[in-house]
């Protein structure tokens, strides 16, 4: 098997389930050492055991990225314990959708805290290390990938604040892409359509059922479909920057 990421270190946030867990497995299969971050330590430890059994060096970071100090400490631990940081996948996120007029303010606070502020805490701390990695690795490149959403390209009724966060991280990434291009840090977004994960289980009663009805019998994407997109981006030769990938379920409008 080829190992295009051999010798590199990746950090995946939100790795305790869904897209993040699949991405951690995929980057590990590509040869990377992987730091997995989320709040549910039991899930992370189970994943780490699995990865270590396959020979991957793994670091568990039981952290809440909405707490700036925890986020910063987690990123610094990656570099202290694994020696470098070549790839960051900003994946942790929550989707608490529903009509704006009925929405509890706490849902908006949580989406802004995780999807935007948490991502900023992780990114700011990671950037100097990504820049260093791009300079001193044989690959001469480092990667920052953010999991945005189709809701970061198209706003629909019911997704107002979630779309606000996802349009926001896409805009942030494009600006950062331009800043970091001379430093050989590639910045990209993956914009998934509907993926079969725990994401929608956090919706409040009523909204959850409405969303399920709306999706009907649609065949959803699997977390692996998105992990494959991330892997494609970060395993390109340094001449190639894939900055945006929109991946919808084929049944999705």
Chain residues that interact with ligand NDP, rule: CB under 6 A: 13-20, 38-40, 64-66, 91-95, 114, 118, 147, 149, 192, 194-195, 197-199
**What is the SS3 string spanning 30-72?**
CCCEEEEEECCHHHHHHHHHHHHHCCCCEEEEECCCCCHHHHH
Token reading at 36: 């997995």
In terms of phi and psi (left: phi > 0; alpha: psi -120 to 50; beta: otherwise), the region of 140 is left
CB atoms within 10 A of CB 102: 9
Contact of 111 with 94, CB cutoff 8 Å? yes
Residue 132 three-state SS: helix
């Amino acid at each position: 098997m080829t190992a295009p990421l051999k010798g590199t270190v990746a950090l995946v946030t939100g790795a305790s389930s869904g897209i993040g867990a699949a991405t951690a497995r995929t980057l590990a299969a590509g040869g990377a050492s992987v730091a997995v971050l989320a709040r549910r330590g039991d899930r992370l430890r189970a994943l780490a055991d699995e990865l270590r059994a396959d020979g991957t060096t793994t670091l568990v970071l039981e952290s809440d990225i909405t707490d700036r100090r925890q986020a910063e400490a987690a990123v610094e631990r990656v570099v202290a314990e694994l020696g470098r940081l070549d790839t960051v996948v900003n994946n942790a996120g929550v989707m608490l959708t529903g009509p704006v007029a009925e929405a509890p303010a706490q849902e908006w606070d949580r989406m802004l805290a995780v999807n935007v502020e948490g991502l900023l805490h992780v990114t700011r701390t990671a950037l100097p290390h990504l820049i260093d990695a791009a300079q001193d690795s044989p690959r001469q490149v480092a990667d920052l990938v953010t999991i945005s959403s189709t809701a970061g390209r198209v706003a629909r009724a019911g997704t107002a604040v979630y779309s606000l966060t996802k349009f926001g991280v896409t805009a942030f990434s494009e600006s950062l892409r331009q800043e970091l291009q001379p430093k050989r840090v590639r910045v990209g977004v993956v914009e998934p359509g509907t993926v079969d994960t725990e994401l929608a289980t956090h919706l409040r009663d009523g909204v959850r059922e409405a969303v399920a009805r709306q999706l009907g019998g649609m065949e959803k994407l699997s977390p692996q479909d998105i992990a494959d997109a991330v892997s494609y981006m970060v395993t390109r030769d340094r001449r190639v920057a894939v900055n945006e990938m929109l991946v919808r379920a084929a049944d999705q409008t």
